[in-house]
Structure 1
Amino acid sequence: MSDEPRSGGFDILDDATTDGVGVPKTNGAGVPDFAAARDHVRDELVRFARALRRAGMDVPANAATTAARALVVVGFDDRERARTALRACLVTDRADRATFDDLFAEFWRRLTAGLDPGGPAERA
């Protein structure tokens, strides 16, 4: 056996703080729960589509799925961009734009509150 480091010249810390191959162990603190975030987004999109239907809009059956895909593309950083993308997915009649805009504000508040660390979804 050689006294050379196992990593081909790089020192690997191999003790109780690593996984045995040099990768630091973590307790997961500060790592987002992606499954919970995904579920929250899905639930809020379904709730939003239902609210639009209750308000009299003709929302397609697959609209929540299409809207979720749109949010993946545009992200959550820009409220106006997300609103425009969702409106393209959920509004089929120009006359329903005002209804969408009225209900979007509450949807966005609930959605982002549940995604914020320490927000309502995390405390629930």
Structure 2
Amino acid sequence: MNSTAPVTLLQAAGEALPFEPSSFDCVVSTWTLCSVLDPDLVLREIGRVLKPGGRFLYVEHGRSPDENVSRWQDRLNPAWRRFAGGCNINRPFSKILAESDLRALSQNAAYGPGPRLFAFFYQGTAVRGCD
């Protein structure tokens, strides 16, 4: 059985999502939180628009747990950010998520293919708690 649903695309800043509170069952973010100005505010907005119990699915890249790699990420980040449209290679995504109102249900963090400076990935699911 084929079913279709209307789709509307719009451009908006993650720091100010133009949706009513508790509007969505699920929010998906892929390689986004590295480049927003305020990832804490974006996660608050995601929590705001999720229904209680709503899921946040993500794949992000960021700070390596390997001290040698993370030192190089810190050194290179200012130039990388200018080169790569605001992308930050040294954001500690799991810490940012842990300090948000979202509760991680699962998270995998590992190196993907490519240079270790740019290839530490976080993939998982978080949930908005019940109010």
Higher relative contact order (CA 8 A, sep 6+): 2
- Decide: shared fold, TM above 0.5: no
Structure having the larger proportion of residues in strand: 2
TM-score scaled by structure 1? 0.23
Structure having the larger proportion of residues in helix: 1
TM-score scaled by structure 2? 0.22
